[in-house]
Amino acid sequence: MNKTQTAAVLYPMPQVDVERSELQSGSVPPPKPAYILESIELPTLSTAPQSSATSLPSLASAHYIPAITPGNKRVAVIQFAALCFSLFLIGWGDGSSGPLLPRIQQVYHVQYAVVALLFVMNCIGYLIGAAMNVYMTDKFGFGKVMVIGAMAQTIGFAMEAPAPPFPIMCIAFIFTGWGVALQAALGVGYVASLKTNAAAKMGFTQAMYGLGAFCSPLVATQFAHLHRWSFHYLVSFALGISNILSLMAAFRGKTQEECLQAIGEPPAQASTSNDSKYRQLLRLKTLHLLAFWAILYVGVEVTIGGWTVTYIIQDRGGGPSAGYISSGFFGGLTLGRVALLWVNRKVGERRVLLIYGLLAIALELTIWLVPSLIGNAVAVSIVGMLLGPMFPILMNQSAKLFPPWLLTGSIGWIAGVGQAGSALLPFLTGALAAKFGIQSLQPFLIVVMSLIIIVWLVIPKSHRRED
């Protein structure tokens, strides 16, 4: 007859699900890796010989969460740096338009409505990328699709550099829009899927977008006065090559699950539905509401950065240096995404977004009604600071609304469709300017900002949890 004896085995304790805001605020101490000591019965050999099948039970089937090693941390830093540079280049592209628009109109002899076609082509590229990102990610993998997006964006820059005929310039904007949509969708979705300091990392990556949009007008304004104005896109092309190389080195063409495993993050929960991801995404009503909000927000952001320079020159008598006002706006946006993180946590993300929106509308009213060049420039910068935290807040809130297996696809759809707003609303601005003059910019922005607040209020509270 067999006898038994006991042995101690270490099993990892299950992770405690704690709200991110509680971890960040310090009200709840962060969970530390811990193990429980559990006794199990082990069979002992009887006097009769036994087969090897009755030996110690295997622990391979035990659920195990590996500790994060220094190697994981090093890979995480490399991945995060590559994502930040990708967002920086997206911001660089969006920030270039403002200072170059007046020169493009002059070179191609086109009016507001025609030059706005560039934004339409960009919008087409964004929508293609937003629609294809789930399919391409499942087929090729996260790392490869990020590189494909970077390549498409860089091809667009190469086409723009020689100042080709206007139709070719429009086609180039399709390439850049498609590449940006893929990178924005997958990059933002990847950061949202992280379990460690996701809110802070989201704010920082979006701040890198603002930094790119801040730096590019400084360069584009200089090129706008040169005969070879389009050589600004050679600088963008060089940055695009660097972006391709950094994404290849950081993610090595791996899937998202492999990339997460490389930094010690647990894999995403598997799907519990037999339906395709596209069908599951289409059934999420809140997803489409948030995507519409993103269209409005991103559209306002790029419209201010792109058309304010023209407004200041035409309506406020600004000189050639008016292009720096675009840098002031995106500089404020960058600052707001980092400096106001503590305000977001203190007030609560849902409430603070409404406060930011109301203050931004008030400042837009002063820009519209007070004809002061310096005052308008300062107000534009403060508007940028108030708008800055809004998109990271949207991403943080969205990350809590969807099942884990749809998180990247959902965030990617919101980010990709939202990027279409950066083309759609500037185009509408150009159409309105062609009919009513550039003076229509400020009332148009005020209307869209009001819609942003209304849509945010419409999102059901039962589907949103305070961060």
| Spatial distance between the Cα atoms of 69 and 65, rounded to a whole number of angstroms | 12
The alpha helices in 252-389, defined as continuous H runs, are 256-262, 277-282, 285-315, 323-339, 341-347, 349-369, 373-387
pLDDT of 6 reads: 45
| Spatial distance between the Cα atoms of 205 and 338, rounded to a whole number of angstroms | 10
Q: Compute CA 99 distance to the chain's CA centroid, rounded to the nearest angstrom.
A: 24
Which residues, 6+ apart, have CB-to-CB distance to 347 below 8 Å?
Answer: 355
Which residues, 6+ apart, have CB-to-CB distance to 440 below 8 Å?
Answer: 429, 432, 433
- Phi, psi for residue 49 in degrees, rounded to 5: -65, 145
- If phi > 0 it is left, if psi is from -120 to 50 it is alpha, else beta; for residue 195 that is alpha
Which residues, 6+ apart, have CB-to-CB distance to 299 below 8 Å?
Answer: 421, 422, 424, 425, 426, 448
Q: 322, 309 in Cβ contact below 8 A?
A: yes
CATH code assigned at 304: 1.20.1250.20
Q: Which structural domain, as residue segments, surrounds residue 418? A: 74-265+285-463
Tens place of pLDDT for every residue, the chain, 467 residues? 444 444 444 444 444 444 444 444 444 455 444 444 444 444 444 444 444 343 444 433 334 445 678 888 899 999 999 999 999 999 898 888 778 888 888 899 888 778 888 888 888 888 888 888 888 988 898 999 999 999 999 999 999 999 999 999 999 999 999 999 899 888 888 888 887 777 788 888 888 988 898 888 888 888 988 888 999 999 999 999 999 999 999 998 898 889 988 888 876 666 566 667 778 877 888 888 988 999 999 889 888 887 888 888 887 777 767 777 888 888 898 899 888 888 988 888 889 999 999 999 999 999 888 888 888 889 999 999 999 899 888 888 877 777 777 777 787 788 778 877 877 888 888 888 888 888 888 999 999 999 999 999 987 664 444 43
pLDDT of 412 reads: 74
**Residue 330 domain-assigned (yes or no):** yes
Which helix (H) or strand (E) is 36 found in, with range?
strand 35-43
- Crossing angle (nearest 10°) for helices 404-436 and 166-192: 150
The DSSP bridge pattern shows strands 35-43 and 4-12 to be: antiparallel
Quick count: other Cβ atoms within 10 Å of Cβ 385? 23
Sign of CA dihedral 353, 354, 360, 363: negative
pLDDT of 52 reads: 39
Domain total for the chain?
1
**Residue 276 domain-assigned (yes or no):** no
**Residue 184 domain-assigned (yes or no):** yes
**Residue 31 domain-assigned (yes or no):** no
**Residue 144 domain-assigned (yes or no):** yes
**Residue 194 domain-assigned (yes or no):** yes
pTM over 0.85: no
Q: Nearest to residue 357, comparing CAs of 309, 296, 308, 415? A: 296
pLDDT of 183 reads: 92
The alpha helices in 388-403, defined as continuous H runs, are 390-398
**Residue 450 domain-assigned (yes or no):** yes
Which residues, 6+ apart, have CB-to-CB distance to 365 below 8 Å?
Answer: 442, 446
Quick count: other Cβ atoms within 10 Å of Cβ 439? 13
**Residue 193 domain-assigned (yes or no):** yes
Quick count: other Cβ atoms within 10 Å of Cβ 272? 7
Q: Amino acid identity of 140? A: F
Burial of 344 (0-12, 13-18, 19+ CB in 10 A): buried
CA angle 350, 354, 357 (to 5 degrees): 140
